[in-house]
Amino acid sequence: MRTAEIRRRWLDYFEARDHAVVPSASLVSPDPSTLFTIAGMVPFIPYMLGQQTPPWNRATSVQKCVRTLDIEEVGKTTRHGTFFQMNGNFSFGDYFKEGAIEYAWELVTGSQADGFYGFDPDKVWVTVYHDDDEAARLWRKVAGLPEERIQRRGKKDNYWHTGQPGPAGPCSEIYIDRGPAHGKDGGPVVDEDRFLEIWNLVFMQYAIEDVRSKEDFTITGDLAQKNIDTGMGLERVAYLLQGVDNMYEIDEVFPVIAAAQELSGRRYGADRDDDVRMRVVADHVRSSLMLIGDGITPSNEGRGYVLRRLLRRSVRAMRLLGVDEPALPHLLPVSRDAMSASYPELATDFDRISRAAYAEEEAFRRTLVAGTTILDTAVAQVKTAGGATLGGEQAFALHDTYGFPIDLTLEMAAEQGLAVDEQGFRDLMQAQRERARADAKAKKGGAAGTTVYRELRDQGATEFTGYTELTTPSTIRGLLRDGVAVPAASQGDTVELVLARTPFYAESGGQDSDAGVITADGARLEVLDVQRPVKGLVVHTVRVAEGEVASGAEVLAQVDPEWRRGARQAHSGTHVVHAALREVLGPNALQSGSYNKPGYLRLDFSWNQALSAATRSEVEEVSNKAIREDLGVKWQYMTLPEAKAWGAIALFGETYDEQVRVVEIGGPWSRELCGGTHVDHSSQIGIIALTGEQSVGSGSRRVEAVVGLEAFHHLARERALVTALTDALKVRPEELPERVSGLVARLKDAEKELAGLRQGQLLAAAASVAAGAADVGGVRVVTHEAGAVASADDLRTLALDVRHRLGESPAVVAVGGVAKDRPVVLVTVNPAGRALDLRAGALAKVAAGALGGGGGGKDDVAQGGGTDVTALPAALAAVRGAVAERAGGR
């Protein structure tokens, strides 16, 4: 049974039993303390906590999930993967244990002909929490399971929570006996390879806090209602029903392994190390496909860093399989085809996805080249010092600073006859992991600190009035200092303040928070920041400028109207620029992030090449034409499916409620899901002036612009600059480009003339330099310091001239100099010298090692450089020594 069919049967089964089919949420977690959606129940947590009223009592979904905690174990076991799919059915105060068990038993053991999964009832085992007698009784009643196939376990195995404060409860897990070929008898408590868990029924009934570990937490009380949260591992069920040994061999994953076999010429199943590499490739390519599909792009932090690591591990694994050519253009389309039956959007959006992935592979291939140069330098230094082992610090620096994988370091060092201090490397990696865990723990502690916000949220959501008014009477619902509730705040205090109603926009959707004041009897509070630490709660960071305020006081919240005017211009301007980019570049130029505040906007979008000056000018012109046309700006609420059907653009990486706000400018020209504040007509934006465009990662660009009055000031400054130049050069503004071009050309001619004079001076010394050649083991060797030079080309010219003057006998010339404050050594070897196995590239690396840098090149001419100018004499001496060593060893 294909994976897509297993998925379809799941949704059909529960839909027929009055469950609302809920589309998978984004892989981008809505919880700021976690990067990705890690479980099927994550989107439903607000309903389980009672923070929001669910629109249905029953729901079902197939949720996309990513977990990367055990990324190093991927491929080594059959259990670890990064991307997976979790089938789930949920009850919010409706059915509980008995209903969940009845549904599970029927779907698992019912016949395939009737639309079920058809597992043999005699091979089903279950576990329950050790004191959950009710669950054990229901398994006997509903399924007729004998007592010996109902096993009891503790919190470590049969109590579920997210690892964060929130809902929790005991659970019951369903296992399938794979038979004696897979391990010992005795149920899951004896062998979880033979007895494979496929489904976990969680009986959510408690709220927990202070989560110290899987088994150590504090139960704070019962949830407002008893809930059911179940999770069936789709990939696990797939490999059982498809008769394969593990998740890597199912129909949605194995095609990538097959493609890797074809590219590498190696056979899956023939070598354990190759098998691990192919599994890594299959898992990581699929995960990368899904992450980019949800709008994540490679970067050096957060989610983007995880994606970058997945892609680079894929490329690295293919290289270790012997594939040096770009691999992703072969592998990614295969994964797309395997996954499109379940996620058709991957096919329609593949152009954007592939651009980001292929650009990252190309960038990593360049990193490998740079890392190879650094590695060669480190190896040369070790050999020069007479060592046989590359230090753990050097291997770690290659990994951590340059992104050079340790297994490539091991492989390439071995090719040059060196071992690597692996233990030193592992110790440094462990220290880094411990720092990362400490950071993660700190972040979790911070997340636990949201308890006080949740308590305030339980009193009701903050009503936002800022769409229609800038001044709102309100009541102080709470005051916080350093995360602790306080009764009052006095002049000079900086505190967090929660209002029942507020006109202040909290930073979100790329729009900066509002500025303004909050006043009460004799008190004036300056609003410094506005955030939403938990959904539905607006928190104002304020400084008490005058007087004193207390919790429960009546206040007047007032947004600065000039600030809001600028914020509206910038946010609407962001939508206009986005629409202009799509009009000029095409529909693939989709926004991937933004930031705007009064007078300024920046917008990141999917694109893999720089915009030409003409293209930037066209985007600017289209934007300002839309402003001039005074397009109407409207917004309305609708369901998310309605919005998508209407053509509204959702920002990648954002999570949305079922009801969403759609903002349109000029009708269908710009329709986006957005909660920000906007102008009423496009003409109110004023003017947009693009000020910059740059890369912000593989397959992603950024444009920046000034808006409104700031745009006018920017253009006025440019006008003043043009006026100053025209006055200085005595030309009209339209003649300025030609005049500047002429001056630049004259400057270049002068520079060429100077370079010719310098080269002439160098060549004039060539004869005397050649005359200083020394005999080193039958090789004529010249080492010469030329002093300051314009560039390495001057050294190359001198070295080649000297080599020519030395005739046809074996000769090596090494000329050093300082170009742009950095030491450079140019090495050249004539044909007779190369016949003695003297190679310019190898000698340049030796010189570069003394200079603290890298080098290399061809056998006849090569170059090395570094950072230590004072080491030039030592670098030239190292070349002489290397020639003596090779010549003496013949």
Quick check: is 377 in a domain?
no
Residues 156 and 281 in one domain: no
Confidence of residue 299 (pLDDT cuts 50, 70, 90): confident
Q: What is the residue whose two structure tokens read 């560039």? A: 791
- Can you name the residues that pair with 85 across neighbouring β-strands? 64
Residues 884 and 833 in one domain: yes
Confidence of residue 87 (pLDDT cuts 50, 70, 90): very high
Q: What pLDDT is stored for residue 655 in this prediction?
A: 61
Domain final residue pick, 209, 226, 244: 244
Q: What are the pLDDT digits (tens) for 619-662?
A: 999 999 999 999 999 999 998 888 888 888 876 555 667 788 99
Q: What pLDDT is stored for residue 635 in this prediction?
A: 94
Write out the binding residues for Zn(2+).
571, 575, 674, 678
pLDDT value at 440 more than 80: no
Domain final residue pick, 358, 379, 403: 358
Q: What are the pLDDT digits (tens) for 127-150?
A: 999 999 999 999 999 999 999 999
Residues 151 and 269 in one domain: no
Residues 13 and 65 in one domain: yes
Residues 10 and 117 in one domain: yes
Which of 316-320, 441-445, 534-538 is the least confident region?
441-445
Confidence of residue 447 (pLDDT cuts 50, 70, 90): very low
Give the residue-averaged pLDDT of 62-68: 89
pLDDT value at 443 more than 80: no
Q: What are the pLDDT digits (tens) for 731-770?
A: 998 889 899 999 999 998 888 887 777 767 766 778 888 8
Paired sense of beta strands 779-789 and 811-819, if any: parallel
The top-scoring range by mean pLDDT among 392-401, 475-484, 563-572 is: 563-572
Q: Name the pTM for this structure.
A: 0.59
Residues 203 and 262 in one domain: no
Q: What percent of the chain has pLDDT over 70?
A: 94
Domain final residue pick, 526, 559, 592: 559
Quick check: is 383 in a domain?
no
Q: What pLDDT is stored for residue 477 in this prediction?
A: 94
The torsion defined by the Cα of 60, 66, 67 and 70, in degrees rounded to 10, comes to 130
The top-scoring range by mean pLDDT among 375-384, 408-417, 435-444 is: 375-384
CATH code, domain with 695: 3.30.980.10
Rounded Cα gap, residues 328 and 345, in angstroms: 19
Q: What are the pLDDT digits (tens) for 815-856?
A: 999 988 889 999 999 999 999 989 999 999 999 988 988 887
Quick check: is 416 in a domain?
no
Rounded Cα gap, residues 199 and 515, in angstroms: 50
Q: Which two tokens stand for residue 585?
A: 């570049």
Quick check: is 614 in a domain?
yes
Quick check: is 387 in a domain?
no
- The residues near 452 (Cβ < 8 Å, ≥ 6 apart) are 480, 483, 484, 485
Quick check: is 66 in a domain?
yes
CATH code, domain with 478: 2.40.30.130
DSSP letters of 798-845? HHHHHHHHT-SS-EEEEEEEEETTEEEEEEEE-HHHHHTT--HHHHHH
Q: How far is residue 195 from each of residues 95, 123, 377, 428, 682, measured CA to CA in Å?
A: 28, 9, 52, 38, 63
Residues 200 and 340 in one domain: no
Parent domain of 820 = 765-888
Write out the binding residues.
571, 575, 674, 678
Residues 676 and 794 in one domain: no
Quick check: is 804 in a domain?
yes
Residues 798 and 835 in one domain: yes
Quick check: is 745 in a domain?
no
Give residue 280's identity as a one-letter amino acid code: V
Residues 159 and 62 in one domain: yes
Instruction: Report the side by side order of strands in the sheet with 688-695.
Output: 591-597, 600-606, 700-707, 688-695
Q: What is the residue whose two structure tokens read 């995880």? A: 306
Residues 555 and 568 in one domain: no
Residues 672 and 548 in one domain: no
Q: What pLDDT is stored for residue 704 in this prediction?
A: 96
Q: Which two tokens stand for residue 395?
A: 């291997």
Mean residue pLDDT across the chain: 88
Q: What pLDDT is stored for residue 444 in this prediction?
A: 39
Side-chain-side CA neighbours of residue 793 (13 Å): 8
Q: What are the pLDDT digits (tens) for 204-251?
A: 988 888 888 878 888 888 887 888 999 999 999 999 999 998 899 999
Q: What pLDDT is stored for residue 607 in this prediction?
A: 86
Q: How many domains does the chain have?
A: 5
Q: What pLDDT is stored for residue 37 in this prediction?
A: 80
CATH code, domain with 149: 3.30.930.10
Q: Do 575 and 582 form a contact (C-beta atoms < 8 A)? A: no
